[in-house]
Structure 1
Amino acid sequence: MRHGQGWHSEAVSPNGHQIHDPWLTPTGEQQCRERCENFRRHGQPVVKRGKKIVALPIAEEASDAPCDTGSEVDILQADFPDVVDFDNVKYGWWHHDQELAIDPPSLNARAAKLRRFIRDRPEKEVVLVSHGFFNHYLTGDVNDEGEQTTPWWGETELRTFSFVEGDERAMIRETDESMLRRGAKEEVPRLNRPKERGKSISV
């Protein structure tokens, strides 16, 4: 799932990309409330069930703009006490270098690591809230130059995927139900194939 509308959105702030680690707008908060309502049939929200949201730096956006640069972990802990597990977030995590560099090979490697992390968890279903551009790396929908090959994700848009069985890169395939829900055309490829849409991901 992509996050809701933030103050960095072009629809709200013409130079919003210069805003550091922006909060959601009132519209973005309402989008999230509506998305939560859609999950009511699955029972209580995870937080009310005593579970925590897991914060993962490797799910950050594929950009080094101020709006895509996070805050220090102690600031985040103060903003979201008791509901978020920050064990994977270290001081200085927001620097866009090493594992979090923004060149296409590094982004592909990061996406593969995140897919494996999700695949190897004990839960059968996991909801990931991430960012519009990085989601294309996560799903393998980028070409050799790192340009996306499928449409942008809308604000709080939810797409559903399953893992390709036996794939060492933990590649994912969008489900038919998800394709139908967003009106995707049949000719839009659902799985990254090197001959069709760029190099396969290798780490």
Structure 2
Amino acid sequence: MYTALQSFGPVFKANPDMKLILLPDIQETSDVACDTGSDPSALRKEIEEKGLPVDASLVHEGWNVKTGRYAPTNAAVGARARDARRWLKARPEKEIVMVSHGGVLHYFTEDWENSSQFQGTGWTNTEYRTYTFSDKVDLDDLEGHKLDTDNASLVETVESRERRGKKGPMADREKQKELYKQGVQGWDDQGLQLSTAEREAAKVPAGKEVNGVRV
């Protein structure tokens, strides 16, 4: 929340009626404390007391309980990431800025290229990328499971890829299915299983942060 408010402070100042919308479905993947949000009552109290331009109407009881919809599993994270894409696609705005976390962004964008380049992500701190919704209707997820409606797939723009040193278009969906499997395995090899219990069982040394990047 504060990353978004500080990053776009001038925008909120110039547009006093604009508010940051908190979307529970794009919270980070794991069940560790730093990836778990505050109770709704505490969050709303903080927003009100500080007069923050934030809309927390979508934050509900249980959003910070890592079970069910928010469980630290590939299936649960993938499902809520897909719902977040569908929610954004249905918005009336044509350009939307989303601020989130390096792990869940791979599930949200379904872009798994170099996803293990750093510790649990292929994104650097404060990196931004630009995506558009695909014109194609995909009716399966990256694990091959059938969907009852559009996946709301995203495609990174060529300009965005060039900005970060990548050549050509984003890998197609079939390639992303392969990269997804490699990415999840890569995180497992780093000791970054989504649940605390799995990480403790794996006993892989934790990473560290160097110059603002997890390695």
Between the aligned partners of 2:45 and 2:14, the Cα distance in structure 1 is 19
Q: Secondary structure at the match of 1:45?
A: helix
What is residue 94 of structure 2 aligned with on the other side?
124
Normalising by structure 2, report the TM-score.
0.65
What is residue 193 of structure 1 aligned with on the other side?
174
Between the aligned partners of 1:65 and 1:129, the Cα distance in structure 2 is 20
**Counterpart mapping for 1:128-147 below 5 A:** 128-142=98-112
How far the C-alpha of 1:92 sits from its partner, in A, is 2.5
User: What's the Cα RMSD here?
Assistant: 2.9
Structure 1: unaligned runs, 5 residues or longer = 4-23, 38-43
The one of 68, 86, 92 aligned to 1:98: 68
Distance 1:79 1:184, change over 3 A: farther
CA contact (8 A) 2:132 2:154 kept: yes
The residue type paired with residue 137 of structure 1 is Y
CA contact (8 A) 1:140 1:191 kept: no
- The count of residues paired between Structure 1 and Structure 2 equals 161
The one of 115, 121, 127 aligned to 1:148: 115
Structure 2: unaligned runs, 5 residues or longer = 138-149, 182-215
Q: Which structure has more helix as a fraction of its residues?
A: 2
What is residue 183 of structure 1 aligned with on the other side?
165
CA contact (8 A) 1:141 1:149 kept: no
Between the aligned partners of 2:8 and 2:56, the Cα distance in structure 1 is 22
The residue type paired with residue 70 of structure 1 is G
How far the C-alpha of 1:196 sits from its partner, in A, is 3.8
**Counterpart mapping for 1:37-56 below 5 A:** 45-46=11-12, 48-49=14-15, 50-56=17-23
Between the aligned partners of 2:22 and 2:83, the Cα distance in structure 1 is 15
How far the C-alpha of 1:79 sits from its partner, in A, is 2.4
How far the C-alpha of 1:183 sits from its partner, in A, is 1.0
The residue type paired with residue 139 of structure 1 is T
